[in-house]
């Protein structure tokens, strides 16, 4: 898809629902929830369906971290970046008071707080390059796979392999110089931490406005939607800001149900390590899997792993969204250079996510929502990785579009 006009992407045509895929997605969601509810618990089934809700929101709002950063880097279009700041602002307003209290509805909760050091900086930088070569971030990879992207299946497979490799090597990287985990909520208190974060979000959003207007004289205007009312709610497309608020609220629901915020890539390390065991490796000997909880996850069913069931839910939720939008149409042809970029980018994504203690969701979104200093370090390092990755895209025959896309990551 190429850039269209300076005013923004063309409106999406109103087309019929893909009935077969929609019914299939509904059956997978209902059947999966029943299976997980019986095999594990009703709460686990609820988390599976919560993942599906996240996938539907991601698809209908076309909420891509990768393309949002790319169009800002390439042409200073900042709508996607500003939507991320709205998402983070809503998230910290919800999260910080609860994390300071330590409980939510009587259940203990904790944020995703990790060390800041060489491992995080290098891993996030590598992840940023992988975002642009692989064509998506962690959430973007899952929802575009569910939406029917064949190329992203390659990225996902390599993402899983890279995550397992990163898990095998993490102990070496974790031993490099680093600061201890820092929670701004605990270090500063709720009020100052909120003020500092909200000011930073406002500054980033304001800078994007200044830079966009300086280059183009005005901000991009969204086109009119092909549907309104209930039809738009169910079939999309949604405004970016609506997606941003919905993602923040659903992350908070994740905190309530799981006791910790939304994450994605720990499941990829689990899947990759289980696959490695099947072909003769011994992941149980890796330091990454030595903690009792980690060992239990490696030896147990993936249905018992919160992140795994939510990840699968995201894919099926996006499948449902694509079918409802009438846009589920997989294309099997893939140029060689694009396929190579998908594999290389996926490996970078997986390896980088493990080194950086998370991805654009677990480290950036949920890390900052948790008040973790490492979330901000991740954002800076990953942005520089995206700068390099955007420059590398033409070498692999990949477009560097100048305007936000209606869909895709």
Residues 254-305 have pLDDT tens digits of: 999 999 999 999 999 999 999 999 999 999 999 999 999 999 999 999 999 9
**Cα 90 from Cα 365, distance rounded (Å):** 11
CB 46 within 8 A of CB 166: no
Residue ranges of the domains in the chain? 19-395
According to DSSP, the residues that pair with 372 across neighbouring strands are: 183
Three-state DSSP string of 177-232: CEECCCEHHHHHCHHHHHHHHHHHHHHHHHHHHHHHHHHHCCCCCCCCCCCCHHHH
Q: Where are the alpha helices (DSSP H) in 40-64?
A: 42-60
Q: Can you give the pLDDT at residue 14? A: 53
Please spell the DSSP secondary structure of 4-20, one letter per residue: -BTTBSPPPP-----HH
pTM over 0.95: no
| 28-50: pLDDT as tens digits | 999 999 999 999 999 999 999 99
Residue 225 has pLDDT above 50, yes or no: yes
């Amino acid at each position: 898809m190429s850039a269209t006009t300076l005013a923004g992407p063309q409106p999406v045509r109103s087309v019929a629902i893909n009935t077969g895929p929609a019914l299939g997605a509904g059956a997978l969601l209902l059947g999966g929830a029943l299976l997980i509810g019986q095999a594990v618990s009703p709460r686990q089934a609820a988390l599976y369906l919560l993942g599906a809700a996240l996938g539907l929101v991601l698809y209908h709002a076309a909420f891509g971290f990768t393309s949002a950063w790319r169009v800002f880097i390439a042409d200073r279009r900042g709508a996607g970046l500003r939507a991320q700041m709205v998402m983070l602002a809503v998230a910290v307003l919800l999260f910080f008071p609860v994390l300071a209290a330590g409980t939510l509805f009587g259940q203990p909760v904790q944020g995703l707080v990790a060390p800041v050091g060489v491992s995080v900086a290098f891993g996030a930088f590598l992840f940023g390059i992988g975002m642009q070569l692989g064509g998506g971030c962690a959430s973007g990879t899952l929802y575009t796979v569910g939406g029917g992207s064949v190329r992203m299946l390659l990225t996902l497979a390599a993402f899983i392999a890279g995550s397992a490799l990163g898990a095998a090597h993490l102990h070496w990287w974790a031993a490099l110089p680093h600061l201890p985990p820092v929670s701004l909520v605990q270090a500063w208190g709720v009020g100052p931490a909120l003020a500092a974060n909200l000011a930073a979000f406002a500054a980033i959003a304001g800078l994007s406005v200044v830079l966009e207007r300086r280059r183009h004289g005005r901000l991009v205007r969204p086109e009119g939607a092909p549907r309104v009312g209930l039809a738009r709610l169910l079939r999309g497309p949604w405004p970016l800001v609506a997606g941003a608020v919905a993602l923040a609220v659903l992350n908070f629901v994740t905190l309530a149900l799981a006791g910790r915020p939304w994450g994605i890539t720990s499941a990829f390390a689990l899947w990759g390590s289980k696959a490695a065991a099947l072909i003769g490796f011994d992941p149980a000997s890796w330091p990454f899997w030595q903690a009792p909880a980690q060992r239990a996850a490696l030896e147990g069913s993936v249905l018992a792993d919160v992140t795994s069931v939510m990840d699968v839910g995201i894919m099926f939720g996006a499948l449902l969204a694509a079918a409802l939008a009438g846009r589920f149409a997989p294309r099997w042809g893939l140029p060689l250079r694009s396929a190579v970029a998908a594999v290389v980018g996926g490996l970078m994504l997986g390896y980088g996510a493990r080194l950086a203690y998370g991805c654009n969701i677990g480290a950036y979104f949920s890390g900052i929502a948790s008040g973790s200093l490492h979330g901000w370090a991740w954002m800076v390092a990953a942005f520089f990785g995206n700068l390099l990755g955007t420059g590398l895209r033409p070498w692999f025959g990949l477009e560097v579009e100048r305007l936000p896309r209606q869909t895709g990551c």
